Structure 1
Amino acid sequence: MGVFIVKLLSRIPLAVSYRVLAPLLSFLLFRVFKYRVKIARQNLARVYPAKTEAERELILKDYYQFLGDMFVEVLRSPHLSDEDFLSRVKWENPELINDLWADGQSIVLMALHQCNWEWLLHSATLTLDPPLEVIYKPLHNKAFDGYFRETRARFGSILVPHKQAVQLFNHRKDPFFLVLLSDQAPLKKRKKVWSMMLGQDTAFPLGAELFAKNNNAVVVYGWPRRVARGYYEIRLEILAEPPYQQEGNEILDAYAKRGGEAIVAQPETWLWSNRRWSYTKAEDPTLSASDDH
């Protein structure tokens, strides 16, 4: 039933959804169900202690309005044409990745859960030359999981189950183009890297650091920006490139710094309702008392 309703709502044109469905969803999430509102408020208070409560509440309100917009955008995705995506998501300098790929270089593209990351992935398959591989964690609901996997696959993304990622990317023989959204907290029991982002000690999954260094891949950062309702731009820049030092966390440190700058530039478009700082560095069971990274 849930998937049937989603498919039914996906047929509503974006112009109508923006006027009716998006404001309704935003209101329900923010005012009625209060979906992770407490978590989002706590995160904003951590990152912006110098702002007044009213200023933080304005960001919070804008964030939930954006969530409503993004939901209807993702909902509508199966019915958008290639031309729709190309007109709505502009890549400022795709030649950066295309030239690296032409040279036989493996590439790790790092980005945040910022702006409409699903549209960014879809448009990447239309704009960039290399086949796009993305690590995918299946949803608990099998019906919804199948629906969203089908939607992503339609645009040409190669979905890699997260449990197979280390096997596939730890030492890869052929060049690859892997997209990683590495700004969500890893499980507490998993080994991780700690770095400063937005003034906070922040845990990051190890994947990007390991995969890039073990394959001498160039790491590119994708900086997205919402320019209007339903329209985005993304700028690419080299974040790190070989030769790498095997010791240290140069890649994730650079990602944390750049990601923090991107969030501050357009805070309402980042995923504030994620439990990003659900545990502290002192509570990390994988660190010894003398470990300083």
Structure 2
Amino acid sequence: MQFLAYILIYPILWLVSILPFRLLYAFSDGLFIIIYHIIGYRKKVVKENLKLAFPNKSEAELNRIRKKFYHHLCDMVMESIKSMTISEAEMKKRFTFSNVEVVQNLEKENRSIALMCAHYGSWEWIFILQTYLNNKGYAIYKRLANTYFDKLVKRIRAKYNSHLITTKESIPILMETKRQGKVTICGFVSDQSPKAEKAFHWNKFMGITVPVHTGAEMLAKKLDMSVVFFGVKKLKRGYYETTFKTLAYNPNEYPNYQITDKFLDLVEEQIHEAPEYYLWTHKRWKHRDKVPAEYQN
């Protein structure tokens, strides 16, 4: 059944991926009508999240953010499909780096890097970063249920020496690369909500106390990886600029969770600057009523 779904859907995805961008975004506009107006995909979740994050904004302001968000979400879906066939030159033109020397200099100093980011702007084309580096790149991801599409996504990422690994695979793989003396860069999307009962740390995110993922910081300390944040700014439709900021050159010099808290502060700055580019469909604040006593104000 998985293979049947793959052979039926893959040709459609490939045909969409070869469309010129102008036509691709026309499809995105049509997708917006379906997802927002007809299906209403997670509209209640998005509405609740926006009210929680921006309690002082008017209903009209929240509605404008919500519509802009869905337009951006549809663009990201189409851009993800475009990744199948987009050329390196085209991607470099559309996904630029304002200060790539931050990670290049760390590489020159033989520092492996834990690259932290949020579900903000666009993270679909970040793997083009590997064309500016010599080291091997990894990204932590959740394996897709369909094994054929899972292999497809891995193949797309591997074009530029980026390799997807699951959370369970990350420690043994990165430990082995360190044992071999290899310099690596590993990407973590670190703003998801962990299970409340398994959380080691809680902190305020957009003014609400929530459990926080600390895996990137803990792994960086274990493997002595410098920690770098990358923020993404959407310049215009289909064009993004990434800026890097070193959070910790030597992570073991920082108290536990301080690096993670610095990361969350930077994510909040992005959201306040342009809230429509955050992934509001995630139930990020679903554990807000389970705050342990020691974290309650």
TM normalised by structure 2 equals 0.90
Q: Does 1:147 align with 2:152?
A: yes
The answer for the alignment partner of 1:102 in structure 2 is 108
Task: Tell me the matched-pair count.
Answer: 287
Q: Is 1:219 the equivalent of 2:224?
A: no
User: 1:278 offset after TM fit, Å?
Assistant: 1.6
Q: Which moved more, 1:193-202 or 1:166-175?
A: 166-175
1:2 aligned to 3, 9, 19, which one?
9
Look up the SS of the partner of 1:118 in the other structure.
Answer: coil
CA contact (8 A) 1:186 1:192 kept: no
Task: Tell me the equivalent position of 1:238.
Answer: 246
Whole-angstrom distance in 2 between the partners of 1:290 and 1:56: 33
| Percent of aligned positions that are identical | 29
Q: Which amino acid aligns with 1:161?
A: T
TM alignment of 1:46-85, pairs within 5 A = 46-85=52-91
Rounded to whole Å, the distance in 2 between the matches of 1:255 and 1:158 is 23
Q: Cα offset for 1:191?
A: 3.3
d(CA) in 1 for partners of 2:20 and 2:170?
37
The question of whether the paired residues in 2 share the 8 Å contact of 1:86 and 1:126 is answered with: no
Contact 1:108 1:179 (C-alpha < 8 Å) held by counterparts: yes
CA shift digits 1:130-157 (9 cap, x unpaired): 3211112111122322222221122321
The alignment status of 1:92 with 2:63, answered yes or no, reads no
Task: State the match for 2:25 in structure 1.
Answer: 18
Deviations 1:14-38 (A, max 9, x none): 211112x101111111111111111
Aligned partners of 2:253, 2:223: CA distance in 1, in Å? 13
Indicate conservation of the 8 Å contact 1:11/1:76, yes or no. Answer: yes
Change in CA separation of 1:245 and 1:103 when aligned onto 2, cut-off 3 Å? closer
Q: Does 1:133 align with 2:133?
A: no
Residue 160 of structure 1 corresponds to: 165
Greater helix proportion = 2
Cα distance change, pair 104–3 in 1 and its aligned pair in 2 (3 A): same
- 8 Å Cα contact 1:196-1:257 kept in structure 2: no
The CA distance in 1 between the partners of 2:133 and 2:277, in whole Å, is 24
Aligned AA for 1:146?
A: K
Q: 1:101-148 deviations in whole A, cap 9, x for unaligned?
A: 111112111111112211122x21223343211112111122322222
CA distance in structure 1 between the aligned counterparts of 2:251 and 2:200, rounded to whole angstroms: 22
Question: In structure 1, which of residues 280, 283, 290 is the aligned counterpart of residue 290 of structure 2?
Answer: 283
- Aligned positions of 1:179-258 closer than 5 A: 179-242=187-250, 244-245=252-253, 247-258=255-266
Post-superposition Cα deviations, 1:204-223, rounded to whole Å, max 9, x if no partner, equal: 22211211111222111101
Counterpart AA for 2:194: P
Instruction: Give the corresponding residue for 2:47.
Output: 41
Give structure 1 regions of 4+ aligned residues with deviation exceeding 4 angstroms: 289-293
The one-letter code sitting in structure 2 at the alignment partner of 1:186 is P
Is the deviation greater in 107-116 or in 150-159? Answer: 150-159
Inter-CA distance 204–166: structure 2 relative to 1 (3 Å threshold): farther
Q: Does the C-alpha gap of structure 1 residues 292 and 97 become closer, same or farther in structure 2, counting only changes over 3 Å?
A: farther
2:83 is aligned with what amino acid? S
Q: Is the 8 A contact 1:186 1:205 kept in 2?
A: yes
Q: Report the alpha carbon displacement of residue 56 of structure 1 after superposing the two structures with TM.
A: 0.4
